[in-house]
Structure 1
C-alpha cells in the first residue's frame, strides 16, 4: 500500500529585514490617507519603521507612492484589510512591501506568493492558521489576539513547530513583550500605539510611545 503524501508547501516570501530587526508593525486607520504623513514621521522618530496602511482608510492606493517617495527606504509600507485577490494585486502594483488580511483567503495568499511579496493572513483557530501557513504565508496573523493571549503561540507550536505568528487585535504596549518572549515574529498594534494622533493628539507623545514599545520588544527579543 503506497504511503500518503502531504501536499507540498508553497514557496514562502520572507519577512523584510526591517521587520526582523524591529519586530513591530504600526497599523494606521484614518478618515483619509492624506493624514498619514505626520503620524508616520512621529513613528519613524520613535523607531517603528514597518507601517500598515489599511484599506478602511480612503485614498490608500493613491497615497502609497507619495509616502514611499517622501520617507524612502528607511520605512516599509504594507497594505492591510485586504479581503480579495483583486485588492492584493492592486496593492502590489502600488508598491506595497507586504499584505495583511483579516482572514484566510487562498487567492490573496497566492497573489502575494506569486509576486514574492510578504503576506500575513488572519485567522484564529488552528485550522485557519495552519491553512494560511500551508498556503505559503510569511507568517500567520492571530486575530483578534486578545481573545487567546501569548500562551497560544506555544500551544500552536506543539502540532505546528515551524509556524510563524504575528498577533494583532487588542495587543497593547505593555503585553507586546510577552508575545515576543512566547515566540511571535513581530507584534501588530493600532490604537494602543497610535492613540489620538489622528484626532489632534500630541505627536511627541506618539514618538514616546513608539520608543517605549521598541524598548520593551527589543529587550524581550534578546
Structure 2
C-alpha cells in the first residue's frame, strides 16, 4: 500500500505547527496513542527537520511523517533530506511538485479553485489540499467543486475538527488535515495530553464508523 492509499484509509492528517521541541515528543506520543497515523510538521516549527528525523526513527512503524508549509524547491529539498515521506504546501508551486516527483515523494499542494486543481494535477500532483476549506464554505464548497472534478483526490484542510469531520468526509474529501482543532495549544501548554489523545480517538472512531458504513 503506497502513501496515498494509506492516507485514503486513515483519512486524518494531524498538523503540528509552532510546537516547542520540548513538548513535541509528548504531543506526538498522544497523537499516536490516539490512533493518528499521519503527521505533518510545518516548516515554521522550531527545529522542524531535526524533529522529523527523530520522529521517523521513533515512530517508523506507526506513523507516516511529512513536512508542511513547503513554499519552494529548496525547502522541499531540506524536507526530503530530513526524511519527509510526503510534502504539503499551502499554495500551488509547480517546481515543488516537480522536485518531489524527481525524488519519488508525493507533494500535496494547496488549491482553492478548479483552475488551480487542474493545474496541480497537470503538474503531477497525485492529490491536492483544498485550503482553507472552512473559509471557502466547508462541506458545501467541497461537494460542489468535486462534482466536475471527482477524479482528483482532495484533502480538506482549514477549520476541520470534531464538529464537522463527518460531513466533510461525507462530502467526498479524500482525507482531512487537522491542526489546532486537534493539536490544541492550550492543552499542550497545560500538559493535558490525555485530552488530545482522547480527541484523536474520537476522530479516528468517526472515520472507522464511516468506513464500516461504506
Over the aligned positions, Cα root-mean-square deviation in angstroms equals 1.6
Whole-angstrom CA distance in 2 between matches of 1:135 and 1:15: 19
Partner of 1:104: 92
Residue 52 (structure 2) pairs with residue 77 (structure 1):
no
Residue 189 (structure 2) pairs with residue 199 (structure 1):
yes
- Does structure 1 retain, via aligned residues, the 8 Å contact 2:146–2:172? no
Aligned with 1:217 (options 199, 204, 207): 207
Aligned with 1:131 (options 119, 125, 133): 119
- Does structure 2 retain, via aligned residues, the 8 Å contact 1:34–1:59? no
- Equivalenced residues, count: 209
Aligned with 2:54 (options 66, 70, 88): 66
Deviation at residue 34 of structure 1 after TM alignment:
4.4
What per-residue deviation string (whole Å, max 9, x for no partner) do you get for residues 40-71 of structure 1? 10011110110100111121112211111112
Whole-angstrom CA distance in 2 between matches of 1:192 and 1:138: 26
SS of residue in 2 equivalent to 1:119: strand
Moved more, 83-92 or 211-220: 211-220
Greater Rg, structure 1 or structure 2?
A: 1
SS of residue in 1 equivalent to 2:174: coil
Whole-angstrom CA distance in 2 between matches of 1:16 and 1:126: 21
- Does structure 1 retain, via aligned residues, the 8 Å contact 2:71–2:96? yes
Residue 140 (structure 2) pairs with residue 151 (structure 1):
yes
SS of residue in 2 equivalent to 1:174: coil
Partner of 1:182: 171
Whole-angstrom CA distance in 1 between matches of 2:147 and 2:56: 40
Whole-angstrom CA distance in 1 between matches of 2:138 and 2:19: 30
The unaligned stretches of length 5 or more in structure 2 are none
TM-score, structure 2 normalization: 0.91
Partner of 2:14: 26
The unaligned stretches of length 5 or more in structure 1 are 1-13
Whole-angstrom CA distance in 2 between matches of 1:210 and 1:31: 17
